[in-house]
Amino acid sequence: MSNQFLDTSIEYLKGVGPAKAELLKKELGIFTFAQLLDYYPFRYIDKSKIYKISEINSDAAFIQLKGKITQIQTIGDKRAKRMVAKFHDETGEIDLVWFKGIKWLSSSIKPNVEYIVYGKPTLFKNTYNITHPELDLVSDSLLANKITLESVYHTTEKLSAKGLNAKGIFKIQKNLTSQLRGKIIETLPFELIEKLNLISKEAAIINAHTPENEVLLQKALFRLKFEELFYLQLNLLQQKVIKAEKIKGHVFGNVGDNFNTFYKNNLAFELTDAQKRVIKEIRRDVGAGEHMNRLLQGDVGSGKTVVALLTMLIAIDNGFQTCLMAPTEILASQHYEGLMEMLEGMNVTIELLTGSVKTAKRRQIHEDLENGTLKILVGTHALLEDKVKFDNLGYVVIDEQHRFGVQQRSKLWRKGRAIPPHVLVMTATPIPRTLAMTFYGDLDISVIDELPPGRKPITTTHRFDSARMRVFGFMEEEIKKGRQIYVVYPLINESEKMDYKDLMDGFESISRRFPSPNYNISIVHGKMKPADKEYEMQRFVKGETQIMVATTVIEVGVNVPNASVMIIESAERFGLSQLHQLRGRVGRGAEQSYCILMTGNKLSSDSKLRMETMVRTNDGFEIAEVDLKLRGPGDIQGTQQSGLLNLNIADLAKDGQVLQMARNEAIEVLKKDPKLQSENNHRLVTGLDNMKRNKVNWSRIS
């Protein structure tokens, strides 16, 4: 949308001027006409109906009246000072009341002239009144200008103080849209506009800001949302096409001895259908000669690690080395021990490389990697060091990938010498479909959507603080059965005194209720030295302590099958995905496990919904969808780094169907014309160039 008119500085728009322009730049980042047009309303008010005063009842929300002000008086003094105006129509009278701006209003209101009043009627001493109504002369009103829908814009205190409240922004948008005829360049191919019966770009922008009617508003919103999501998908999918052409992958043609031996002798359980499906998808990728970039999603306990190991064995059978990178030492050690156990009796070399590995051992690992005798290396960020050189790295698994920056991942990717290794990115944080299609649109996505047989769903309950004694009683019963318990406190910021105090107060009350020597309690928090933290963790892992009181440091990576109860204190201070992750720390053994959400009695509606969702379902994907609706895409874990969230009008929480349609159309376009070279698609090339101009492109690396 770049042309001379739209590039005009905002101060030259009628109703703005230098002072307001300066504020628009500082507060909203709006410098030009084009940027103002990209600032869309967040809702619309229907002002098509005029009510009679006699129609007002206790159910009335915001209403619009037409009549005259006959009498104005100022009542009370100081804080109780207010201005009351009598407002009449042919059916009755109502009071209009103002507590602010009295001086300006009393001098500007004209008695016995027709006004349109808009506001919410409230009942006071059996009489209706409207406090701080909007007031417009009939001649200046929206209806006089044949506008029935008023657009409402987000604003700030500083803007409002200078007359750019929601109404003020609407006014300058009207000034701008009235000049747009013939000045908006079309940005989608004619074929696509005709196929989807879209209105023009010009009509869409005008009607999004100053809608003529409800029908045109809906058409405008659909057109603009579709276009925004279409270009997003086109960009991602085109990267995928370019990458498939440019970057070839190793061909893993054999499924050999290691894979078959493990499958026949070492696999202690039958794979689920979902696991089998994912392995087939990966085998198809790595056998095709294209470079694999695949995201594997699956809830905690769904068996992602077994899938990773089986596919790593395919790489080893084809003469390649593999590595698995995890975000923390605890998680890396756990993966290492788990893989060692699963590979018992097999001739597959495996080592662990973390920051705490001693120098001599580290030297040996480096040597074995370079001469090719070491086949699987598990580790943390230590794998990224320049000294870590592989002989023939062919397959990389990255666990909990949102914890690694893209640049870190690219470093690992480049260790594959001439041909980059295939990449499998795993996450136990379920990502809603709309986000996965947007943030990982250039990756292929696999989902393990069923738990292994024998796993019992975790029973989740919500308890208020007043039920604490009952919860202590339940803890005692579980400990008598030989089980272990987590009690987790929120940690928003490690330096926050309140969080630390909560944890220590909780530890003291639990210690009083469960005294030694009958009970042993571990405590883990961010202020402890790593060695002390590890010591306390290990005591719990070995079963030497029955209760672990901790902050969220245990969210990822502690696997204690005997721990059957997770108690989350101040659960209302956690987001849904974090609650779900914490709950996943239990339910790892054969016994029934429990999660208890403890909250205060006063809960916001969002907090109530979070608790109800957790109690209702164990399905991580359902939880992720609710989380997306509550928090919006910008806050969902792992998405902040992508730079794709600067959406002007589409909403990933609500526009899933539009996104799917946009993706389908982008796929269709690229199928016919992968390089967008045809005359029909010249607009798309321009649109993509405009979109990419300010964005770093990391999408080549998962």
Would you give the distance in Å from CA 506 to the centre of its chain?
Answer: 31
Separation between Cα atoms, residue 245 and residue 376, nearest integer Å: 29
Tell me the two tokens of residue 599.
């909250």
Spatial strand order of the sheet with 293-298 comes to 350-353, 376-379, 321-325, 393-399, 422-427, 293-298, 444-448
pLDDT digits (tens, 9 = 90+) for 358-381: 999 999 999 999 999 999 999 998
Q: Which residue has the higher pLDDT, 269 or 440?
A: 269
pLDDT digits (tens, 9 = 90+) for 229-259: 999 899 888 888 887 777 888 899 888 899 9
Separation between Cα atoms, residue 609 and residue 603, nearest integer Å: 10
Tell me the two tokens of residue 694.
């300010």
The percentage of residues in the chain with a pLDDT greater than 70, rounded to a whole number, is 91
Is 249:292 a contact under the CB 8 Å cutoff? Answer: yes
Segment 608-613 mean pLDDT: 95
Would you give the distance in Å from CA 314 to the centre of its chain?
Answer: 34
Segment 260-271 mean pLDDT: 90
For the chain, state the CA radius of gyration: 31
Q: What is the DSSP string of 534-553?
A: HHHHHHHHTTS-SEEEE-GG
Residues 6+ apart with CB under 8 A from 293: 243, 422, 423, 425, 442, 443, 444, 701, 702
Candidates 217, 226, 232; CA nearest to 196 is: 226
Is 201:185 a contact under the CB 8 Å cutoff? Answer: yes
Q: Which residue has the higher pLDDT, 106 or 183?
A: 183
Beta strands 393-399; 484-488: pairing state: unpaired
Tell me, what amino acid is at 429? T
In 131-272, alpha helices (H): 157-161, 166-177, 190-195, 201-209, 214-246, 257-261
* pLDDT for residue 139: 76
* pLDDT for residue 421: 92
Tell me, what amino acid is at 591? E
Separation between Cα atoms, residue 437 and residue 579, nearest integer Å: 24
Tell me the two tokens of residue 421.
């290794």
Other CB atoms within a 10 A radius of the CB of residue 252 amount to 26
Tell me the two tokens of residue 702.
């998962």
* pLDDT for residue 405: 59
* pLDDT for residue 60: 67
* pLDDT for residue 312: 96
pLDDT digits (tens, 9 = 90+) for 120-179: 898 888 888 898 898 888 877 766 666 778 899 999 999 988 889 998 999 999 999 999
- pLDDT greater than 90 at residue 593: yes
- pLDDT greater than 50 at residue 486: yes
Residues 6+ apart with CB under 8 A from 365: 351, 353, 357, 374, 377
CA dihedral 293, 446, 308, 420 (to 10 degrees): -10
Flag the least confident range among 49-63, 550-564, 671-685: 550-564
Q: How are the residues of the chain apportioned to helix, strand and coil, as percentages rounded to the nearest 5?
A: 45, 20, 35
Q: Which residue has the higher pLDDT, 613 or 553?
A: 613
Segment 347-358 mean pLDDT: 92
Q: Does the predicted TM-score (pTM) go above 0.75?
A: no
Instruction: State which H helix or E strand residue 635 sits in.
Output: none
* pLDDT for residue 409: 65
Separation between Cα atoms, residue 40 and residue 221, nearest integer Å: 10
pLDDT digits (tens, 9 = 90+) for 622-676: 888 888 878 766 544 444 334 445 688 988 778 888 988 999 999 999 999 988 8
Would you give the distance in Å from CA 618 to the centre of its chain?
Answer: 19
pLDDT band at 330 (very low <50, low <70, confident <90, very high): confident
* pLDDT for residue 496: 56
Q: Which residue has the higher pLDDT, 456 or 176?
A: 176
- pLDDT greater than 80 at residue 434: no
Average pLDDT, the chain: 86
* pLDDT for residue 407: 66
Beta strands 376-379; 321-325: pairing state: parallel
pLDDT digits (tens, 9 = 90+) for 179-229: 999 999 999 999 999 999 999 999 999 999 999 889 999 999 999 999 999
* pLDDT for residue 557: 52
Separation between Cα atoms, residue 466 and residue 458, nearest integer Å: 23
Would you give the distance in Å from CA 221 to the centre of its chain?
Answer: 22
- pLDDT greater than 80 at residue 549: yes
Flag the least confident range among 9-23, 234-248, 568-582, 630-644: 630-644
